[in-house]
Amino acid sequence: MNSAPAGLGPATCPPAHDEVTPSVLRAVVSRFATGVTVITVGGPEPHAMTANAFSSVSLEPPSVLCSVGHGAVMHGALSSAGRFAVNILGADQEKLARHFANKDRTLGAAQFEGIHWTPGDRTGAPLLGGSLAWLECELTAAHAFGDHTVFIGTVVGAGRFTEGRGLLFVDGRFGRPESDAA
């Protein structure tokens, strides 16, 4: 008798589905766990936005991407600034993630009141205290597609603030890694 590797159950067919609507896509993609970041831009009107649509693109040249909805304040802020920072949040920073995800918060410099941050040396974008790590980026390309724009940035500075585990987002909720076991 052949046994399947761990995690592989009996072969089953996926259930039939209807048209892929935005709500169906959101429900399916929510099953993919992502890390949580806060994208920031500096300048006279600094802005921040919690984002999980973030990824590395290339090591040579060092580059990353983030995807931002056309209607988001960050879309115009990032387009105008031409540079940004990515703050990689730790497992204990859910409150910070929720703050910068709140569409009703005060905008401009006031949204950073009570939050420890320093301006990045290369971009002036806020680097948030307590974050696991950060990247400073120069905007290299922007590709509009559907209701979002994919912004690609060349990394011009990077560093680590603290040790620890990252904040996760899965199934519409924030979470934390349970162990170091693989």
pTM above 0.85, yes or no: yes
**Structural domains of the chain sorted by starting position, each given as residue range(s) with its CATH number in brackets:** 22-158 (2.30.110.10)
C-beta of residue 64 within 8 angstroms of C-beta of residue 127: no
**pLDDT score, position 32:** 85
pLDDT in tens, 105-139: 999 999 999 999 999 999 999 999 999 999 999 99
Helix, strand, coil percentages in the chain from 3-state DSSP, rounded to 5: 15, 40, 45
Kind and range of the H or E run holding 21: none
The pLDDT of 74-97, averaged and rounded, is: 97
**Mapped to the 3 state alphabet, what secondary structure does 121-159 carry?**
CCCCCEEECCCCEEEEEEEEEEEEECCEEEEEEEEEEEE
**pLDDT score, position 5:** 61
Instruction: Indicate if the pLDDT at residue 84 is higher than 80.
Output: yes
**pLDDT score, position 26:** 84
**pLDDT score, position 139:** 98
- What CA–CA distance (Å, rounded) separates 170 from 109? 30
pLDDT in tens, 35-52: 999 999 999 999 999 999
Percent of the chain residues past pLDDT 90, beyond the cut: 73
Structure tokens at 34: 């992502």
| Phi and psi torsions of 99, nearest 5° | -60, -50
Nearest in space to 39 (alpha carbons), one of 149, 162, 172, 179: 149
C-beta of residue 139 within 8 angstroms of C-beta of residue 82: yes
Nearest in space to 177 (alpha carbons), one of 88, 94, 168: 168
DSSP annotation of 61: T
* Distance set, CA 164 to CA 50, 88, 178, 180 (Å): 19, 11, 12, 11
What is the pLDDT of the chain when averaged over all its residues?
Answer: 91
The three-point CA angle 125-88-160 to 5° equals 85
